Structure 1
Protein backbone atom coordinates (compact mmCIF):
# COMPACT_ATOMS: atom_id res chain seq x y z
CA UNK A 1 0.00 0.00 0.00
CA UNK A 2 1.35 3.40 -0.95
CA UNK A 3 0.33 6.98 -0.56
CA UNK A 4 0.85 9.22 -3.54
CA UNK A 5 1.10 12.94 -4.02
CA UNK A 6 0.10 14.73 -7.19
CA UNK A 7 3.75 15.56 -7.83
CA UNK A 8 4.83 11.91 -7.58
CA UNK A 9 2.02 10.86 -9.95
CA UNK A 10 3.04 13.64 -12.35
CA UNK A 11 6.59 12.29 -12.35
CA UNK A 12 5.27 8.78 -12.94
CA UNK A 13 3.26 9.81 -15.98
CA UNK A 14 6.16 11.89 -17.28
CA UNK A 15 8.34 8.79 -17.09
CA UNK A 16 6.19 6.98 -19.71
CA UNK A 17 8.00 6.51 -23.01
CA UNK A 18 5.25 5.13 -25.26
CA UNK A 19 1.89 4.82 -23.56
CA UNK A 20 -0.24 5.45 -20.52
CA UNK A 21 -3.73 3.97 -20.31
CA UNK A 22 -6.31 4.57 -17.62
CA UNK A 23 -9.37 2.42 -16.94
CA UNK A 24 -12.12 3.99 -14.82
CA UNK A 25 -14.94 1.75 -13.62
CA UNK A 26 -16.72 3.74 -10.90
CA UNK A 27 -19.87 5.83 -11.29
CA UNK A 28 -18.86 8.22 -8.52
CA UNK A 29 -15.52 9.70 -7.51
CA UNK A 30 -15.31 11.79 -4.34
CA UNK A 31 -12.30 13.96 -5.10
CA UNK A 32 -11.95 16.83 -2.64
CA UNK A 33 -10.24 19.20 -5.09
CA UNK A 34 -13.27 18.81 -7.41
CA UNK A 35 -15.88 19.83 -4.84
CA UNK A 36 -16.03 23.48 -5.87
CA UNK A 37 -16.11 22.72 -9.63
CA UNK A 38 -18.75 20.01 -9.13
CA UNK A 39 -20.92 22.41 -7.12
CA UNK A 40 -20.55 25.06 -9.84
CA UNK A 41 -21.55 22.50 -12.49
CA UNK A 42 -24.62 21.57 -10.44
CA UNK A 43 -25.51 25.27 -10.45
CA UNK A 44 -25.29 25.45 -14.24
CA UNK A 45 -21.67 26.44 -14.91
CA UNK A 46 -20.14 24.71 -17.94
CA UNK A 47 -16.61 24.88 -19.27
CA UNK A 48 -16.32 26.21 -22.79
CA UNK A 49 -13.69 25.68 -25.50
CA UNK A 50 -12.89 29.40 -25.66
CA UNK A 51 -12.04 29.73 -21.93
CA UNK A 52 -8.96 27.52 -21.63
CA UNK A 53 -7.82 29.41 -18.53
CA UNK A 54 -10.71 27.83 -16.58
CA UNK A 55 -9.73 24.27 -17.51
CA UNK A 56 -8.27 21.82 -15.01
CA UNK A 57 -4.66 22.69 -14.29
CA UNK A 58 -2.03 21.39 -13.84
CA UNK A 59 -3.36 18.05 -15.19
CA UNK A 60 -4.03 19.25 -18.73
CA UNK A 61 -0.59 20.84 -18.92
CA UNK A 62 0.96 17.46 -18.04
CA UNK A 63 -1.21 15.74 -20.67
CA UNK A 64 -0.02 18.20 -23.31
CA UNK A 65 3.58 17.73 -22.22
CA UNK A 66 3.59 13.92 -22.38
CA UNK A 67 1.56 13.63 -25.57
CA UNK A 68 3.83 16.21 -27.26
CA UNK A 69 6.77 13.87 -26.65
CA UNK A 70 4.88 11.05 -28.40
CA UNK A 71 3.26 9.21 -25.48
CA UNK A 72 -0.18 7.89 -26.41
CA UNK A 73 -2.53 8.67 -23.51
CA UNK A 74 -5.85 6.80 -23.53
CA UNK A 75 -8.66 6.67 -20.98
CA UNK A 76 -11.65 4.33 -21.04
CA UNK A 77 -14.63 4.74 -18.75
CA UNK A 78 -17.11 1.98 -17.95
CA UNK A 79 -20.35 3.67 -16.91
CA UNK A 80 -23.85 2.75 -15.83
CA UNK A 81 -26.77 3.95 -17.88
CA UNK A 82 -28.52 6.11 -17.18
CA UNK A 83 -25.33 7.76 -15.95
CA UNK A 84 -24.80 9.07 -12.44
CA UNK A 85 -24.71 12.79 -11.81
CA UNK A 86 -20.94 12.58 -11.43
CA UNK A 87 -20.52 10.87 -14.82
CA UNK A 88 -22.68 13.56 -16.46
CA UNK A 89 -20.42 16.17 -14.84
CA UNK A 90 -17.29 14.35 -16.01
CA UNK A 91 -18.68 13.99 -19.54
CA UNK A 92 -19.38 17.73 -19.70
CA UNK A 93 -15.70 18.67 -19.52
CA UNK A 94 -14.06 15.69 -21.22
CA UNK A 95 -13.56 17.83 -24.32
CA UNK A 96 -10.80 19.59 -22.36
CA UNK A 97 -8.89 16.32 -21.88
CA UNK A 98 -9.20 15.60 -25.59
CA UNK A 99 -8.02 19.10 -26.51
CA UNK A 100 -4.94 18.46 -24.34
CA UNK A 101 -4.17 15.20 -26.17
CA UNK A 102 -5.97 12.36 -24.39
CA UNK A 103 -8.08 9.86 -26.30
CA UNK A 104 -11.22 8.96 -24.35
CA UNK A 105 -13.91 6.34 -24.87
CA UNK A 106 -17.04 5.36 -22.94
CA UNK A 107 -18.42 1.84 -22.47
CA UNK A 108 -21.90 1.23 -21.09
CA UNK A 109 -21.55 -1.19 -18.15
CA UNK A 110 -24.09 -3.60 -19.71
CA UNK A 111 -21.61 -4.21 -22.55
CA UNK A 112 -18.77 -5.07 -20.15
CA UNK A 113 -20.45 -8.04 -18.46
CA UNK A 114 -18.47 -10.69 -20.34
CA UNK A 115 -15.09 -8.97 -19.97
CA UNK A 116 -12.48 -10.11 -17.45
CA UNK A 117 -11.68 -6.94 -15.51
CA UNK A 118 -9.54 -6.14 -12.47
CA UNK A 119 -11.21 -5.14 -9.22
CA UNK A 120 -9.95 -1.57 -9.24
CA UNK A 121 -9.36 1.35 -11.59
CA UNK A 122 -5.82 1.42 -12.88
CA UNK A 123 -3.16 3.19 -14.87
CA UNK A 124 -0.78 1.13 -16.98
CA UNK A 125 2.48 2.74 -18.06
CA UNK A 126 4.32 1.41 -21.12
CA UNK A 127 2.61 -1.94 -20.64
CA UNK A 128 4.87 -2.73 -17.69
CA UNK A 129 3.91 -0.82 -14.54
CA UNK A 130 0.39 -0.96 -13.14
CA UNK A 131 -0.93 1.49 -10.59
CA UNK A 132 -4.22 0.48 -8.99
CA UNK A 133 -6.25 3.30 -7.46
CA UNK A 134 -8.20 1.77 -4.59
CA UNK A 135 -11.37 3.61 -3.52
CA UNK A 136 -13.89 3.12 -0.77
CA UNK A 137 -17.60 2.55 -1.36
CA UNK A 138 -18.27 6.28 -1.56
CA UNK A 139 -15.64 6.85 -4.25
CA UNK A 140 -12.98 8.32 -1.98
CA UNK A 141 -9.38 7.41 -2.79
CA UNK A 142 -8.01 5.06 -0.13
CA UNK A 143 -4.57 4.10 -1.40
CA UNK A 144 -2.46 3.22 -4.40
CA UNK A 145 -0.93 -0.16 -5.17
CA UNK A 146 1.79 -0.50 -7.79
CA UNK A 147 3.22 -3.61 -9.40
CA UNK A 148 5.52 -4.42 -12.24
CA UNK A 149 4.48 -8.08 -12.21
CA UNK A 150 4.24 -8.94 -15.91
CA UNK A 151 1.27 -11.27 -15.43
CA UNK A 152 -0.71 -8.47 -13.79
CA UNK A 153 0.44 -5.93 -16.37
CA UNK A 154 -0.57 -8.27 -19.19
CA UNK A 155 -3.97 -8.89 -17.61
CA UNK A 156 -4.57 -5.15 -17.26
CA UNK A 157 -3.37 -4.47 -20.82
CA UNK A 158 -5.76 -7.11 -22.17
CA UNK A 159 -8.63 -5.78 -20.05
CA UNK A 160 -8.04 -2.23 -21.23
CA UNK A 161 -7.85 -3.22 -24.90
CA UNK A 162 -11.05 -5.28 -24.60
CA UNK A 163 -12.86 -2.27 -23.13
CA UNK A 164 -11.30 0.10 -25.68
CA UNK A 165 -12.40 -2.07 -28.60
CA UNK A 166 -16.05 -2.09 -27.43
CA UNK A 167 -16.19 1.52 -26.21
CA UNK A 168 -17.56 4.55 -28.02
CA UNK A 169 -15.31 7.55 -28.74
CA UNK A 170 -16.21 10.59 -26.65
CA UNK A 171 -17.48 12.65 -29.58
CA UNK A 172 -20.06 9.96 -30.38
CA UNK A 173 -21.15 9.16 -26.80
CA UNK A 174 -23.95 11.15 -25.23
CA UNK A 175 -25.17 11.14 -21.66
Structure 2
Protein backbone atom coordinates (compact mmCIF):
# COMPACT_ATOMS: atom_id res chain seq x y z
CA UNK A 1 0.00 0.00 0.00
CA UNK A 2 1.42 3.42 -0.91
CA UNK A 3 2.38 5.41 2.17
CA UNK A 4 0.77 8.70 1.18
CA UNK A 5 -2.43 9.81 -0.46
CA UNK A 6 -1.75 11.59 -3.76
CA UNK A 7 -3.28 14.98 -4.45
CA UNK A 8 -6.30 15.04 -6.75
CA UNK A 9 -4.20 16.28 -9.70
CA UNK A 10 -1.71 13.47 -9.05
CA UNK A 11 -4.44 10.86 -8.68
CA UNK A 12 -6.44 11.83 -11.75
CA UNK A 13 -3.23 12.63 -13.61
CA UNK A 14 -2.17 9.01 -13.16
CA UNK A 15 -5.34 7.71 -14.86
CA UNK A 16 -4.85 6.43 -18.38
CA UNK A 17 -8.23 4.77 -19.07
CA UNK A 18 -10.86 5.22 -16.35
CA UNK A 19 -11.61 7.11 -13.16
CA UNK A 20 -14.81 6.06 -11.41
CA UNK A 21 -16.33 7.50 -8.27
CA UNK A 22 -19.06 6.08 -6.04
CA UNK A 23 -20.84 8.31 -3.53
CA UNK A 24 -23.16 6.69 -0.99
CA UNK A 25 -23.94 9.36 1.64
CA UNK A 26 -27.00 11.59 1.73
CA UNK A 27 -25.03 14.52 3.16
CA UNK A 28 -21.42 15.67 3.17
CA UNK A 29 -20.01 18.26 5.63
CA UNK A 30 -22.95 20.62 5.35
CA UNK A 31 -22.42 24.07 6.80
CA UNK A 32 -25.93 25.44 7.06
CA UNK A 33 -24.75 28.94 7.99
CA UNK A 34 -22.27 29.89 5.26
CA UNK A 35 -20.77 28.87 1.95
CA UNK A 36 -22.27 27.40 -1.22
CA UNK A 37 -24.88 25.26 0.54
CA UNK A 38 -26.20 28.23 2.54
CA UNK A 39 -26.32 30.33 -0.62
CA UNK A 40 -28.23 27.56 -2.39
CA UNK A 41 -30.67 27.34 0.54
CA UNK A 42 -31.22 31.09 0.19
CA UNK A 43 -32.18 30.63 -3.47
CA UNK A 44 -28.91 31.05 -5.36
CA UNK A 45 -28.57 28.87 -8.46
CA UNK A 46 -25.68 28.77 -10.91
CA UNK A 47 -26.53 30.15 -14.32
CA UNK A 48 -25.48 27.50 -16.88
CA UNK A 49 -24.82 30.29 -19.40
CA UNK A 50 -22.40 32.07 -17.03
CA UNK A 51 -19.66 29.45 -16.98
CA UNK A 52 -17.08 31.85 -15.55
CA UNK A 53 -19.15 32.17 -12.37
CA UNK A 54 -19.10 28.45 -11.53
CA UNK A 55 -16.08 27.00 -13.28
CA UNK A 56 -13.46 26.13 -10.69
CA UNK A 57 -10.17 24.21 -10.39
CA UNK A 58 -11.92 20.85 -9.87
CA UNK A 59 -13.79 21.19 -13.16
CA UNK A 60 -10.56 22.17 -14.95
CA UNK A 61 -9.00 18.96 -13.61
CA UNK A 62 -11.94 16.84 -14.80
CA UNK A 63 -11.92 18.50 -18.22
CA UNK A 64 -8.18 17.94 -18.56
CA UNK A 65 -8.53 14.29 -17.48
CA UNK A 66 -11.36 13.66 -19.95
CA UNK A 67 -9.39 15.55 -22.60
CA UNK A 68 -6.62 12.95 -22.30
CA UNK A 69 -9.15 10.24 -23.20
CA UNK A 70 -9.90 9.07 -19.65
CA UNK A 71 -13.53 8.11 -19.06
CA UNK A 72 -14.70 9.73 -15.81
CA UNK A 73 -17.91 8.35 -14.30
CA UNK A 74 -19.64 9.24 -11.02
CA UNK A 75 -22.53 7.32 -9.50
CA UNK A 76 -24.55 8.46 -6.51
CA UNK A 77 -26.68 6.16 -4.39
CA UNK A 78 -29.39 8.31 -2.81
CA UNK A 79 -32.23 7.85 -0.39
CA UNK A 80 -35.65 8.93 -1.64
CA UNK A 81 -37.24 11.26 -1.02
CA UNK A 82 -33.84 12.89 -1.34
CA UNK A 83 -32.21 14.97 1.37
CA UNK A 84 -31.91 18.72 1.06
CA UNK A 85 -28.19 18.25 0.48
CA UNK A 86 -28.85 15.80 -2.37
CA UNK A 87 -31.10 18.43 -3.99
CA UNK A 88 -28.18 20.86 -3.68
CA UNK A 89 -25.85 18.33 -5.36
CA UNK A 90 -28.41 17.60 -8.06
CA UNK A 91 -28.82 21.29 -8.90
CA UNK A 92 -25.06 21.70 -9.36
CA UNK A 93 -24.34 18.45 -11.19
CA UNK A 94 -24.68 20.12 -14.58
CA UNK A 95 -21.22 21.57 -13.86
CA UNK A 96 -19.72 18.06 -13.56
CA UNK A 97 -21.41 17.06 -16.81
CA UNK A 98 -20.15 20.22 -18.54
CA UNK A 99 -16.60 19.26 -17.52
CA UNK A 100 -17.03 15.83 -19.12
CA UNK A 101 -18.08 13.57 -16.27
CA UNK A 102 -20.81 11.03 -16.83
CA UNK A 103 -23.12 11.07 -13.80
CA UNK A 104 -25.87 8.67 -12.76
CA UNK A 105 -28.20 8.42 -9.77
CA UNK A 106 -29.42 5.22 -8.13
CA UNK A 107 -32.29 5.24 -5.65
CA UNK A 108 -31.04 3.41 -2.54
CA UNK A 109 -33.99 0.95 -2.62
CA UNK A 110 -32.64 -0.36 -5.94
CA UNK A 111 -29.20 -0.98 -4.40
CA UNK A 112 -30.27 -3.27 -1.55
CA UNK A 113 -28.85 -6.45 -3.07
CA UNK A 114 -25.57 -4.97 -4.36
CA UNK A 115 -22.44 -5.86 -2.36
CA UNK A 116 -21.00 -2.41 -1.64
CA UNK A 117 -17.74 -1.31 -0.02
CA UNK A 118 -18.02 0.40 3.34
CA UNK A 119 -16.81 3.76 2.04
CA UNK A 120 -17.08 6.08 -0.92
CA UNK A 121 -14.21 5.67 -3.33
CA UNK A 122 -12.44 6.57 -6.52
CA UNK A 123 -11.05 3.71 -8.60
CA UNK A 124 -8.33 4.59 -11.08
CA UNK A 125 -7.80 2.27 -14.05
CA UNK A 126 -9.37 -0.62 -12.14
CA UNK A 127 -6.34 -1.01 -9.89
CA UNK A 128 -5.86 1.93 -7.51
CA UNK A 129 -8.52 2.70 -4.90
CA UNK A 130 -8.75 6.00 -3.09
CA UNK A 131 -11.06 5.48 -0.13
CA UNK A 132 -12.87 8.62 1.04
CA UNK A 133 -13.45 8.45 4.80
CA UNK A 134 -16.02 10.67 6.54
CA UNK A 135 -17.09 11.42 10.09
CA UNK A 136 -20.65 10.75 11.19
CA UNK A 137 -21.42 14.41 10.47
CA UNK A 138 -20.06 14.11 6.92
CA UNK A 139 -16.75 15.93 7.35
CA UNK A 140 -13.74 14.48 5.61
CA UNK A 141 -11.80 12.07 7.80
CA UNK A 142 -9.05 11.77 5.21
CA UNK A 143 -8.30 9.54 2.31
CA UNK A 144 -6.53 6.24 2.04
CA UNK A 145 -4.91 4.54 -0.94
CA UNK A 146 -5.04 0.83 -1.66
CA UNK A 147 -3.65 -1.25 -4.48
CA UNK A 148 -5.11 -4.44 -3.03
CA UNK A 149 -6.51 -6.37 -6.03
CA UNK A 150 -9.43 -7.74 -3.96
CA UNK A 151 -10.45 -4.23 -2.89
CA UNK A 152 -10.14 -2.95 -6.46
CA UNK A 153 -12.30 -5.84 -7.72
CA UNK A 154 -14.95 -5.19 -5.03
CA UNK A 155 -15.08 -1.52 -6.03
CA UNK A 156 -15.15 -2.23 -9.76
CA UNK A 157 -17.87 -4.87 -9.44
CA UNK A 158 -19.98 -2.72 -7.11
CA UNK A 159 -19.63 0.34 -9.31
CA UNK A 160 -20.55 -1.50 -12.50
CA UNK A 161 -23.66 -2.97 -10.88
CA UNK A 162 -24.68 0.44 -9.56
CA UNK A 163 -23.97 2.02 -12.95
CA UNK A 164 -26.07 -0.57 -14.79
CA UNK A 165 -29.08 0.16 -12.57
CA UNK A 166 -28.61 3.90 -12.17
CA UNK A 167 -30.41 6.65 -14.05
CA UNK A 168 -28.40 9.10 -16.19
CA UNK A 169 -28.37 12.61 -14.75
CA UNK A 170 -30.34 14.09 -17.65
CA UNK A 171 -33.12 11.54 -17.04
CA UNK A 172 -33.19 11.49 -13.23
CA UNK A 173 -35.74 13.74 -11.57
CA UNK A 174 -36.22 14.51 -7.92
CA UNK A 175 -39.36 15.77 -6.27
CA UNK A 176 -38.96 19.25 -4.87
- What is the TM-score of this pair, normalised by structure 2? 0.92
Q: After the TM superposition, which residues 109-128 of structure 1 pair with which residues of structure 2 at under 5 Å, given as runs?
A: 109-128=108-127
- Cα distance, 1:2 vs structure 2: 7.4
1:169 corresponds to which residue?
168
Q: What do the CA deviations read for 1:32-66 (whole angstroms, capped 9, x no partner)?
A: 7xx51111100101012111112141000001101
- Cα distance, 1:11 vs structure 2: 1.4
- Cα distance, 1:31 vs structure 2: 6.1
Q: 1:143 to 1:3 in 2, by over 3 A?
A: farther
Does residue 100 of the first structure (1) align with residue 99 of the second (2)? yes
1:151 corresponds to which residue?
150
Residue correspondences, number? 171
Partner Cα distance (2:78, 2:4) in 1: 27
Partner Cα distance (1:131, 1:154) in 2: 13
Q: What do the CA deviations read for 1:99-156 (whole angstroms, capped 9, x no partner)?
A: 1100000000000000000000000000000011010111111021111011110110
1:74 corresponds to which residue?
73
Q: After the TM superposition, which residues 1-175 of structure 1 pair with which residues of structure 2 at under 5 Å, given as runs?
A: 8-30=7-29, 35-175=34-174
Stretches of structure 1 that go unaligned for 5 or more consecutive residues are: none
Partner Cα distance (2:167, 2:157) in 1: 18
- Cα distance, 1:4 vs structure 2: 5.3
Contact 1:64 1:100 in 2 (8 A): yes
Stretches of structure 2 that go unaligned for 5 or more consecutive residues are: none
Q: CA RMSD in A?
A: 1.7
Which is helix-richer, 1 or 2?
1
Q: What do the CA deviations read for 1:3-32 (whole angstroms, capped 9, x no partner)?
A: 758xx1221111100000000000000067
